[in-house]
Chain A
Amino acid sequence: MEETLAIFIASTLRLAMPLMLAASGELVSERAGVLNLSLEGMMLTAAFFGALGSWATGNPFLGVGYAILAALAVAAVQAWLSVNLRANQLVVGIGFNILALGATTLLYRIIFGGLSREEIPGLPKLAVPGLSDLPFAGTAFFQQSVIVYFGFALILLIWWMLNQTSFGLAVRAVGDEPKSADKAGIPVARTRWLAVLITGAMAGMAGAFISIADIHTFTENMTNGAGYLALAAVIFGGWNIGRTIAACLLFGAATALQFQLPAMGINVPTAFLLMLPYLLALLAVAGVVGRLDPPTALTLPFQRGK
């Protein structure tokens, strides 16, 4: 029983990690007033280019670099369209998701073609010396992919940046009161640009985690809605980083349960467990878990003098 629980915790962490990375990144740009529905597309692009980079160079760490660069490229176009061209952020996001699905599938078929399902060099697991041998916590926490530990560090960094730095203050200002922020001399466009790029980098890590650290290959549409789940987690978390991370863990646990429960002889329909995160997010947006307070200028482009 104890062993099962430890494995359950470990797989919850593994399944929640891409969500946590993507959601904490997305949180930054939503706090700045930009909604990236394209998060799914960024992650899928990153998963593909990460796998490609890792396969081509033979070095999974370089693969992570490729993944981040690819997601940053998507984020840059998203930022240009939503900040400079004042395009409808939702429409742009939908467009990117269609494009990313098409482009990664196409490139995968062209480049990998016959090599499909070939395993790529993956990131190693890191058994933390001394801790990984602990009876319960060892299995649960300390035998994860290296990216998991790094990921937690990044999330802490984002928390610190949002809440303790002047950049974080600027982010919140341009997301809530862009006009006042502009009058106070905060560069609205530049702050939003940076926020979207941070989202891109984190989505890149998330995509790399899925293809390089977890599955060790690329498959078509492999993110399979994880980006949307991360968006749901931000909403469920009420635009607060702690609660967002908790939501990701909850969603990860729900997904992990679909493998755990049958093993324990408990029969719950898989579909229900898969549905659970979206149902919870629906309850959250309906205000059941308390009144939500989204950034005031979320999805609203800013134009001086208007």
Chain B
Amino acid sequence: MTTLVMTMPDRRRLMALSIPFAAVVGSMAVGLLLIAVSGKSVPDAIEAFLDGAFGTAFAFGASINRAVALALIGLGFILAARANLTNVGGEGQIAVGGIAATALALWAPVAGLPLGLAVIVPLLAGTLAGAVWGGIAGVMKVRFGTNEVISTLLLGFVALLMVYWCVQSTALLRQPQTSSSTLPESLPIPDATKLPGLTGDPESPLHIGLGICLLLALATAIVLQRSTFGLRLRAIGLNELAARRAGMPGSILLVVALGIAGAFGGLTGAIMLQGEQFYLKAGFSSGYGFDGLVVGLLSRGSTLGVLAGALFFGFLRSGGISMEIMAGVPSALTLVIQGLIVIAVAGSVILVEKLEGGQR
């Protein structure tokens, strides 16, 4: 796809790219309008938003951490999307990743491991759990012809309830119940299993998740554009039958593609747990799977697009929360903006196809 886009006249390409921008700008304008209509001060809200998104080292770090989670889900999404697979299960893949990472981090021997293994083992466990969760959808598609949208969505709900189950039952991951007020949460994970900070500044929550994310983004870009594997994914996405006739192992590729998307989700869960949340609770995935899916959709398959979108939504989330606390504007406003962006971009597909001159 990249090569096709490159040969397109520059002006048209720019216009096609400008649609997501127009959607973003338009939706944010609606957001401002809603603030004004609700009788809150628009300048106050904007100030609170900027403060919460970039204002302090803490705010900036928290925004970047959010962006990391969104970017990882988005990267997994575009990898699978290259094979024409839509992974809607990010939320559940985060959840199983979080469960596996918590279980390993709380398992006594792990915290004592040397050489950074105390951090790495839970990360890998989360990744693996996510890969299995995504892989199940892949196997279902290959064996039973089940549409992956439906299976990943259903698996997502099962996974969310698994988190609920895990933190409700002391036999699983719930902390020992010492009194009736013991919350349904896991114990906090040991310090040794937490992700190391990225800066020396103890104020900043920024952790090495950013580094992992950037490396994986680079890897994704290379795989998609330079590797045989990327080419095969694309071939199978464009025409499964033809790709199989050309001797490509179609079914395995589909399972692997969904497995990788799931692995990204699982890793996200582990990073969210070990980097910021430190204990498991119901609703742990807090919508990052769906937001990350939106990031993946808007990027239209480009790695840079995923990073840009993730940054935007990361700052949007942080700013939205701060607006609620400081200016009394419900943070649900950011959901309205996101929803409008998704609908506008999805609705403009015909327009984009026209602008791209029927090359797709």
Q: Which residues of A contact B (CB under 8 A)?
A: 77, 81, 85-88, 90-92, 94-103, 105-106, 109-110, 225, 228, 232, 235, 269-272, 274-275, 278-279, 281-282, 285-287
Q: Across the interface, do A282 and B154 meet the contact criterion of CB distance under 8 Å? A: yes
Known: A110-B38, A285-B140, A287-B144. A278 touches B158 (CB 8 A): yes
How many of chain B's residues have a CB under 8 angstroms from any CB in A?
47
Q: Is the CB of B343 within 8 A of A106?
A: no
The residues of B with any CB-CB pair to A shorter than 8 Å are 34, 38, 86, 88, 140, 143-147, 149-151, 153-155, 157-158, 161-162, 164-165, 168-169, 290, 293-294, 297, 330, 332-343, 345-350
Subset of 25 A-B contacts with CB under 8 Å: A90-B149, A94-B294, A95-B339, A95-B346, A98-B294, A98-B338, A98-B339, A99-B339, A99-B340, A100-B339, A102-B334, A102-B335, A102-B339, A105-B332, A106-B34, A106-B38, A109-B330, A235-B150, A271-B164, A271-B168, A275-B158, A278-B157, A282-B155, A285-B151, A287-B146
How many contacting A-B pairs (Cβ < 8 A)? 131
> CB within 8 A of A232: which of B154, B336, B342?
B154
Residues of chain B within 8 A of A285, CB atoms compared: 140, 144, 146-147, 150-151, 154
A-B contacts besides A109-B330, A282-B158, 13 pairs, CB < 8 Å: A85-B350, A86-B350, A87-B349, A99-B340, A99-B343, A101-B339, A103-B339, A110-B330, A270-B168, A271-B161, A274-B164, A275-B157, A281-B154
Question: By the criterion CB–CB under 8 Å, are B161 and A275 in contact?
Answer: yes
Chain A: minimal CB distance from B340 (Å): 6
Report Cα–Cα, A88/B346, bound state, in Å: 6
A271 with B335, Cβ < 8 A, contacts A87-B347, A228-B157, A286-B140 known: no
Please state if A96 and B343 are interface contacts (CB–CB under 8 Å).
Answer: yes
Tell me the complex Cα distance, A245–B157, Å.
21
> Which 6 A-B pairs have CB atoms at the shortest separation, nearest pair first?
A99-B339, A102-B335, A95-B342, A271-B165, A105-B332, A98-B339
**Secondary structure call for the A interface:** helix
Residue of A nearest to B155 (CB): A282
In the complex the two chains form, is A87's CB within 8 Å of B161's CB?
A: no
